Structure 1
Amino acid sequence: MAITDIMLSVLENSGLLPLWNLMAPWLALDERQLIFMVATPVFIAITAWEYLKLRHDPMLMDTHEAIRNFALGAGYQITEALFAGIIAFPVYALFYHYRLMDLELNWVSGFLTFLGVDFCFYWMHRASHRIRWFWAAHVVHHSSERMNFSTAMRQNATNIFNGGWMFYLPLALIGFNPVWIGVAYALSLVYQFFIHTTLVRQLPSWVELVFNTPSHHRVHHGRNPDYIDRNYGGTLIIWDRLFGTFTPEDAHNPPEYGITRPVYSNNLIVLWTHEYRDMFRDMAHPGALKSRLQHLWRPPEWERSDESSE
């Protein structure tokens, strides 16, 4: 008898087989991680090519920061690999168990999965800028004052604990297989790696109209007053055009990259946690509990008035 058969027999006798059937798909190899593993050598090669072109311009490239960006990305990948199966996958499995319809994978459902994931990404990304709890994790991605391919790798190891993955749960409840959702999400992130660059200027007008491009994403990373909290799209820019958050890049107003409250630290832990520290420090200031808790869901720039802190 195979080991798996013995395991299933034990689970059946203990009454835990239904739970195993619910969880088994998520305990296997995570397809998202597999995509990232395959893509990482490509990312490194493209980054090296860009580095050779930009290494003499400290405004565009810093060797130590580029290495640090990959270290930040590695921390993100490690916590995702270790904890996604414990935190996120059971919830997706539960929602999919109670799905409203059964969808077979074909070209139509595949396209709808891509479209749904990109739509959810827009709102997750928008929330990551306008809700401080989510911004506390996302801020590390914006804290570099340079825009290059290594910046795409600059991610927060706390993302899995932060809960941004919950924005995609409605897709599983509708009936989209969470494996498809994960694959579409991973492919979107692969695409987004390539829009973190200053080497590509404007693409053909029809591409700029429909897709997120390096030009659009440079705006997103700008801290210029006209550029802050604009162009949230993942693969597509149509959501920004539909919901009024689109701003084109202005050649007379080049983006100044970074955040409005810079954090100059080389410490990975500080880069990952500084906004959490500031948020909880603001919550600790005297005031009514309700007003103190508002720091969790208010925009990052929100401050309590004298009245709300009494």
Structure 2
Amino acid sequence: MAPNLILYAVPFFVLTVILEAIFITREQKDYLEVKDSFTSIALGLGNLFTGLISKTLIAFIFLYLYENFHVFTLDGSAWWMWVLAFFADDFSYYWFHREAHLIRYFWASHKVHHSSEKYNLATALRQTWTGNITGSFIFYLWMPIVGFHPIVVVIMQQISLLYQYWIHTETIGKMWKPFEFIFNTPSHHRVHHGSDVKYLDKNYAGILIIWDRMFGTFIEEEERPTYGLTNNLKTYNPVKIAFSEWIDIAKDVWKAGSLKNAFNYIFAPPGWSHDGSRKTAKQMQEGIQNNRL
């Protein structure tokens, strides 16, 4: 089995969250809310706990696909294999992350990560309890089929998650331009966490921002984002946050009125409604664009 790099990193997470909190307090910035940070930590601990079972099951799925269907045998001791694995994982993450914002079924889990109205290192720990068991791993199934060993796949997923920890901060401004052109940075990811209409559904990158540049989802940080959701949850209860969107989906499906509407309430973009009472991010952006014309 692959080593649990995230578990080993927990002491580092704790230390840096505390150090950042001290810095924010001394600088008298509004980047921190204690209750919010404790909620993020509770959700992170819940993610670790649920992952003990779900990630093991996913690893076995990867292993089954690798042993029975792999097309190539990629040498795990070769440096070029790890380079390929890095790009393959990051590419997969981009498309998973993009669809997690465009398909409500996946958004129901990912919404948890965007539910904080603050943006700091503790926010990075605010993770889903349901993402693994509801199928986010399907975006990576092609990797063991191609020939990446499941241990390699799992390690690269953890490296991606570890990288993304440090970009959840307002204490680092814009960085060296060549670095920002290639890599995801705090500036790029602040945009992603913004609830401002122009920032919605942008900058999906994991480690490399080049995917957003290639596929038309990149936007530069201009004014400071307004963090959180377009309709914030207004609770510090981690259980309510973890399951709020699933409950809302169930309510919408119950009142859908038709199978087509029920299907769309599950798989259409977040904000879709059969009567137009709510708006998707795309509809909100189109509305602003039309008003400017």
Aligned to 1:143: 115
Contact kept in structure 1, 2:264 and 2:272, CA below 8 Å = no
Contact (CA 8 Å) 1:209, 1:238: kept in 2 or not?
yes
Q: Which residue of 2 aligns with 1:263?
A: 233
Query: Aligned partners of 2:249, 2:225: CA distance in 1, in Å?
Result: 27
Give the 3-state SS of the residue equivalent to 2:113 in structure 1. Answer: helix
- The CA deviation at 1:305 is 3.6
1:102 to 73, 80, 94: 73
**Per the alignment, in what secondary structure is the counterpart of residue 202 of structure 1?**
coil
1:157 aligns with 2:143: no
Question: What amino acid does structure 1 have at the position aligned with 2:30?
Answer: M
Structure 1 residues 286 and 201 mapped into 2: Cα distance closer, same or farther (>3 Å)?
closer
- Counterpart amino acid of residue 274 in structure 1: S
Letter in 2 for 1:164: S
Task: Give the stretch that moved more between structures: 236-245 or 56-65.
Answer: 56-65
Matched, 1:292 2:262: yes
Matched, 1:177 2:152: no
Residue 175 (structure 2) pairs with residue 203 (structure 1): yes
Contact 1:101 1:175 in 2 (8 A): yes
Name the counterpart of 1:44.
14
How far off is 1:55 after superposition?
2.7
Cα deviations across residues 18-60 of structure 1 (Å, max 9, x unaligned)? xxxxxxxxxx4x42xx201211111111111100011364731
Residue by residue over 1:63-89, the C-alpha shift from the partner in whole angstroms, topping out at 9 and shown as x without a partner, is 222122111001001101123223x12
TM-score, length-normalised on structure 1?
0.85
Distance in 2 (alpha carbons) for counterparts of 1:173 and 1:265: 42
Distance 1:158 1:58 in 2: 33
Structure 2 CA distance, aligned partners of 1:120 and 1:175?
15
**Displacement of 1:286 after TM fit?**
4.1
Aligned pairs for 1:1-310 within 5 A: 28=1, 30-31=2-3, 34-55=4-25, 57=28, 59-86=30-57, 88-97=58-67, 98-105=69-76, 106-250=78-222, 253-305=223-275
SS at match of 1:226: helix
SS of residue paired to 2:198: coil
Query: Aligned partners of 1:275, 1:190: CA distance in 2, in Å?
Result: 26
TM-score (norm 2): 0.90
Counterpart of 2:282 in structure 1 is none
Percent identity over the alignment is: 35
In structure 1, runs of 5+ residues without a counterpart are 1-27
Shift of residue 184, structure 1, vs aligned partner: 0.8
- State the Cα distance separating 1:178 from its structure 2 match: 1.1
Separation in structure 1 between the aligned mates of residue 193 and residue 90 of structure 2, nearest angstrom: 19
- Can you list the C-alpha shifts for 1:210-242, whole angstroms capped at 9, x where unaligned? 000000000000011110110000000000000
Any conservation in 1 of the 2:103–2:270 contact (CA below 8 Å)?
yes
* Further displaced range: 238-247 or 44-53: 44-53
* Structure 1 moving runs of 4+ over 3 Å: none
Any stretches of 5+ residues in structure 2 without a counterpart?
A: 277-293
* Aligned residues: CA RMSD: 1.3
DSSP 3-state at the match of 1:304: coil
For residues 128 and 56 of structure 2, what CA distance do their matches in structure 1 show? 18
Do the aligned partners of 2:188 and 2:220 also contact (CA within 8 Å) in 1? Answer: yes
